[in-house]
Amino acid sequence: MRVVLCLMVALAANLAQAATQIEGVRLWPAPDHTRLVLDTAGSVEHNVFALSGPSRLVIDLKNTSLKADFSKVDLSGSPIERIRSAPRNGSDLRVVLDLKSDIKPRSFVLEPNQQYGHRLVVDLIDEKGSRLERAASPTVTQDSAGKRDIIIVIDPGHGGEDPGAIGPRGTREKDVVLRMSKTLMDLINKQPGFTAKLTRTGDYYIGLRNRTLLARKYNADLFVSVHADAFRTPQPSGASVFALSQRGATSETARWLAQSENRSDLIGGAGGVSLDGRDDMLAGVLLDLSMTASINASLGVGSSVLGQLGGVAKLHKPGVEQAAFAVLKSPDIPSILVEAGFISNPKEEQNLATEWYRNRLANAIMDGIHEYFQRTPPPGTLLAWQKENQKGGGQVSRYRIQRGDTLSGVARQNQTTVGELMRFNGMTDDRVMVGQTIRIPSS
């Protein structure tokens, strides 16, 4: 009887060991990599290795069985031709990805979060077709005189396996900010003298450092990261704008100086500083100057954006806040992070889920960006050339308000700001009426 009991206990233990299952599978194709996510009943031990001739990726999982159906996974847009699996060593599982070409694998496990349980993540990195490399020579419009556009890189936060914050009704931050960012990109691209690029154009994840790397590859004049905040209680509300804190700048300067590959990296944007061949002291001074200029510019554009957001939404704080967000740590590119609102607040979640409200926020962000660069356009840009050639003109034109016009739209069309139009016309607010005639200064 005792022997039988021992055998039953041992059998139960073996079954429990092998009870970890792959319960689901998701695929997130991105321009430079594809992320395969395996939902597991618990944490798993695994090993990943690549094979050539033909190209394959092998994933061995210890004490794991298969419950999901790999045949139902949509492989379009990915380098995977087929996913197959078979038991191995009794209680183990081997998963094989038949690939179209060789890739570089990377794998890690994730603990449960608000939306998902245990996960094994496998990234298939396309080193030959990396979007980061393709971004090295962006298409930037120029006029006949060779004056370049101001380049704005918009970063929709989160994406793919990372949903960001989730509202009470299930609205996901990653979806809201992508839609709003695409609207903002369209608004910017319609504006003469501006070009906008997105760090991600679909539902996939990009590492935080790669987001700022993309901005550098695009030679960005401004980096705008778009998010929707959350809190553990539903009460907090309002939009916010963040720039990098001085503490975050200090740590980032140290990181750049400590990493040898950064020493020869050109720091464009704020002044074309190069660390190549500099000793530690001079490199530190140059980097500090660049970082200080970047933060000051970030606070300037952030203040303009926050002022415009205050006209369409409640503000969480009256001024630009500063924090050590990783995406703000570029030492050469002015960078701001816009929190469009608290998705954890039921009312703001409802607003953020509507196209009408997202459009209002996107227009406000655009107006703030335009207002800032109208005052301080980067050298060599169309706006800088226009500002220089308008000095001393003193001419005044008039415009009759049409149906659908807004003061911010009229300001953008005439290369001025809402504040300047209000002061020039003695207006106390930015409301206009159809048929109203307003004067427009030439500079």
The predicted-structure confidence for 148-192, as pLDDT tens digits, reads as follows 999 999 999 999 988 999 999 999 999 999 999 999 999 999 988
Domain with CATH 3.40.630.40 in the chain: 150-263+279-375
The whole-angstrom separation of Cα 105 and Cα 123 is 6
Q: CB-side exposure of 398: number of CA atoms within 13 Å?
A: 4
| CA neighbor of 171 nearest in space, from 433, 430, 350 | 350
Select from 368, 372, 296, 294 the least CA-distant residue to 333. 294
Mind listing the pLDDT tens digit for each residue in 19-45?
689 999 999 998 888 999 999 999 899
Q: What percent of the chain has pLDDT over 70?
A: 80
The confidence score (pLDDT) of residue 10 equals: 47
Q: Which residue has the higher pLDDT, 112 or 98?
A: 98
The answer to whether the beta carbons of residues 341 and 348 sit under 8 Å apart is yes
Using 50, 70 and 90 to split pLDDT, how confident is the model at 325?
confident
- pLDDT > 50? residue 263: no
Instruction: Provide the angle, in degrees to the nearest 10, between the axes of the packed helices 355-375 and 280-309.
Output: 130
Distance from C-alpha of 370 to C-alpha of 194, rounded to nearest angstrom = 9
pLDDT confidence of residue 2: 52
CATH number corresponding to 150-263+279-375: 3.40.630.40
Type of residue at 229: D
Q: What pLDDT score does 9 carry? A: 46
Q: Beta-carbon neighbour count of residue 393 at 10 Å? A: 10
pLDDT in tens, 184-210: 999 999 988 999 999 999 999 888 888
pLDDT at position 126 over 60: yes
pLDDT at 409 over 80: yes
CATH fold of 20-130: Immunoglobulin-like (2.60.40)
Helices (H), 169-245: 173-189, 208-217
Q: Which of 107-121, 131-145, 337-351, 363-377 is predicted least confidently?
A: 131-145
- Sole residue written with tokens 């929709």: 156
- Per residue in 207-223, pLDDT tens? 888 898 899 889 999 99
Mean pLDDT score, 332-353: 94
The mean pLDDT of 249-272, rounded to a whole number, is 45
Is the pLDDT at 239 greater than 90? The verdict is yes
> Under a CB-based contact definition with an 8 Å cutoff, are residues 284 and 267 in contact?
no
As a whole number of angstroms, the distance between CA 340 and CA 317 comes to 12
Write down the pLDDT at residue 442: 66
Give the integer Cα–Cα distance in Å for 61 and 69.
Answer: 16
Whether 105 has a pLDDT exceeding 90, the answer reads yes
Which residues are CB-contacts of 45 (< 8 A; sequence separation ≥ 6)? 61, 62, 63
Q: Three-state SS for 98?
A: strand
Q: Report yes or no: 383 and 374 within 8 Å, Cβ to Cβ.
A: yes
pLDDT > 70? residue 256:
no
Task: For residue range 379-393, list pLDDT tens digits in order.
Answer: 889 888 887 776 544
State the average pLDDT for the chain: 82
CATH 3.40.50.720 fits 392-441, yes or no: no
Give me the pLDDT at residue 267, please.
Answer: 38
pLDDT value of residue 7? 45
At 438, is the pLDDT very low, low, confident or very high (cuts 50, 70, 90)? confident
Q: Over pLDDT 90: what percentage of the chain?
A: 46
pLDDT for residue 8 is more than 90: no
Where in the sequence of the chain do the CATH 3.10.350.10 domains occur? Answer: 392-441
- How much is the pLDDT for 431? 83
Nearest-angstrom CA–CA distance, 20 and 15: 9
pLDDT of residue 223: 95
The pLDDT of residue 231: 84
The pLDDT of residue 392: 45
For residues 121-131, average pLDDT: 78
Q: For 46-101, what is each residue's pLDDT tens digit?
A: 999 999 989 999 999 999 999 999 999 999 989 999 999 999 988 999 999 999 98
